[in-house]
Structure 1
Amino acid sequence: MNIKLIVLFFSLYCLFFVASILFPIDFNWYNSLHKPSYTPSGKTIGIIWAFLYSFISLSVCIVVSMVESFKKAKWFFILFIINYIFNQLFSFFQFEQKNILLATIDCGFVSVTAILLAITAYKHSKTSFILLIPYSLWSIFATYLNYNIYLLNI
């Protein structure tokens, strides 16, 4: 087993939690919002994201292990960085700024870049692609959910 890939996996996994540390959920505010009946509990959402972050991190590690140089997977890594930034900005917009509309728009960008990331991953590894499918689907659902939370709280 390659120690560098293990370190990369855990580093990426931990990086996904930066926003939750910098912009923690304001539970009083979030619980006061009107939400659709299909909204998962906060605990469920947390568990889903923990799994998704591990899938994303593993997907990146697989691509890293498959390519000989950064240039061979340049677009994959660029999309990953863009997606990561949008992913982290969601917590800023939603919980720091309490701007549900901006958070929803950002969530849409997360969805689009997650789908593009999965498509790009397919060129390097079908396993990496498969690992990104749940993230893409969840991002689409999260965008739809957040949009409906926005509508219920205008």
Structure 2
Amino acid sequence: MNWLDWYNTLSKPDWTPEPSTISLIWQILYPIILISFGYVFIQVGKGSIPKVKAIPFVINLIANLSFTPLLFGLRNLPLATLDILIVWFSILWMAFSIWRHSRWVAFAQVPYFIWVSIATLLQISITYLNWKV
């Protein structure tokens, strides 16, 4: 069974967005993420921002990129839920960490944080609705 067929078999809350809507949201967010993260990594490389400030960005990037393989590859709902919680917490950490050095980067994380907050609630709901003891 392919990933979409598997996903469609899961119980989901009534407010679950269509996959095409989720895809569109990420198409908007990924350029924001690319530009803001790229800026931070370049500034860290130049020494304009302390290296420690890049840690939450690296953690977020790894967790963000891990979500799809965990959910749709491994089809592991609890692990995907843990992963998205890491994404959510790391966005807050990023914004607070970078605030003194680049407020625009911190503000650029707001739409990302809003969407990941919704996606986190969705993932927790799906995991709960499909929990098999």
Q: TM-score, normalised by structure 2?
A: 0.87
Moved over 4 A (4+): 64-68
| Root-mean-square deviation over aligned CA pairs | 1.9
Which one of the candidate residues 17, 32, 37 is aligned to 1:55?
32
Tell me if structure 2 keeps the 8 A contact 1:39–1:145: yes
C-alpha distance in 1 between matches for 2:47 and 2:80: 31
TM-score by length of 1: 0.76
> Structure 2 unaligned runs (5+)?
none
1:1-154 to 2 correspondences below 5 Å: 26-64=3-41, 69-70=46-47, 72-154=49-131
Q: Distance in 2 between matches of 1:128 and 1:27?
A: 34
CA–CA distance in 2 between the matches of 1:67 and 1:147? 34
Residues 8-46 of structure 1 show CA distances to partners (whole Å, capped at 9, x for unaligned) of xxxxxxxxxxxxxxxxx7100001111111111101101
Measured after TM superposition, the shift of residue 91 of structure 1 is 1.1
What is the number of residues matched between the two proteins? 130
User: Is there any run of 5+ residues in structure 1 with no aligned partner, and where?
Assistant: 1-24
- Pick closer, same or farther for the CA change 1:108–1:72 going to 2, 3 Å: same
Does the aligned pair in 2 maintain the 1:75–1:120 contact within 8 Å? no
